[in-house]
Structure 1
Amino acid sequence: MNESIAAVMAAFIGVAGALGGTLLGAWMQRRATLEQITAQERAEQRGQLRAGRGASYAEVMDATERFIASLDDIVAARRDRITPSGPAQQWAQMREESLPAMRMLRRAIWNIRMSGPEEMADLARNLYDANMRRFKVAFDAALSFKEMDEEMNRQNTEFRRIRADFVAGAQHVLGNGTATRPAA
């Protein structure tokens, strides 16, 4: 009887072990699947965030380029001696044509503030401020064309540095450029 009890006990332990192994295996498979799904969701969220940030950064650059084009028109008009005290209608129109690009840039900065990181919003704000300084120089009636041109050259040098910082920051955040962060 002892041998038959031992055989039954061994069979019972074998069945319990097999059942336990099956349950443990199923639990581990479920856990691994849930972890994989969670990791995939995080990767998709990171991809969406990266794409959104990239679009916001591109919007800043587009608005900046639009503003540069409007400034070029203003500088050309001053070169042709159409001063702020000259044909007021043309001057006012040029000023009005510059404003939508500045509004577009402000909206783009807010988009960056929402998607982050804050350092990029600060870099975008620096671009806006540099453009506003250039805008004020271009419309400063107290400056002769030569004075305006010299000051605009100084402002343009500073603007190019700030734009390069913005681009380097965007490349760093998006992971498709330099490994170092720009000085903010």
Structure 2
Amino acid sequence: MFFKLWISDIHVMLPSPIQKKAYLFKGRTVEHVIVFGAVTKVKELGTKLLYEVDDGTGNINCIFNQSLMLDHKTNKFMEEFNLSRINVCNYNEIDNKNNMKCEEDELSSAITTSINWLSKEVYEYERKRKTVFQLGDTICAKGRVNEFFGQREIQIYQLHLIDNLKDETGHVLDFVNLYKNEYANM
């Protein structure tokens, strides 16, 4: 479960005595959070990007590991490839060893489809990866709270730009509503 929290609350949460890499917020165990705010610092660290995000209540380092995305894409490709191969196999043709036999044309078509899909995904990944948010951009980050050398940070799973005032206002109102109606009753 992801908690939408102000950055100041992330800094004051206490470590959970029961669960490793978890924190307590108003008696609830928190591992994953959603924050949003303005980018105040950008630094590239090999395959990682460090964004310092400020939401007006405080700032926090958000670490985005770009290499994890490629692993996810590669795994998805393998799943798609295997599903395509199974779908095109002719189940009526079984050889003596009870193995599926596929028509060469059908298997070739499945491979071509999968490779085309992968090349599009890799292209899109590379395009997004090279998009580094600029100072002043408002972003929304979803990830896991960590402590690194005594400082809280967020290991980012998802990150996107909030590029219009309507979305930014929506995020603020959503946070205020959660704090007023749900978090106050915890």
Band of TM-score, shorter chain:
under 0.3
* More helix by percentage: 1
Relative contact order, higher structure (CA 8 A, sep 6+): 2
TM-score by length of 2: 0.27
Instruction: Work out which of the two has the higher radius of gyration on C-alpha atoms and give 1 or 2.
Output: 1
TM-score by length of 1: 0.27
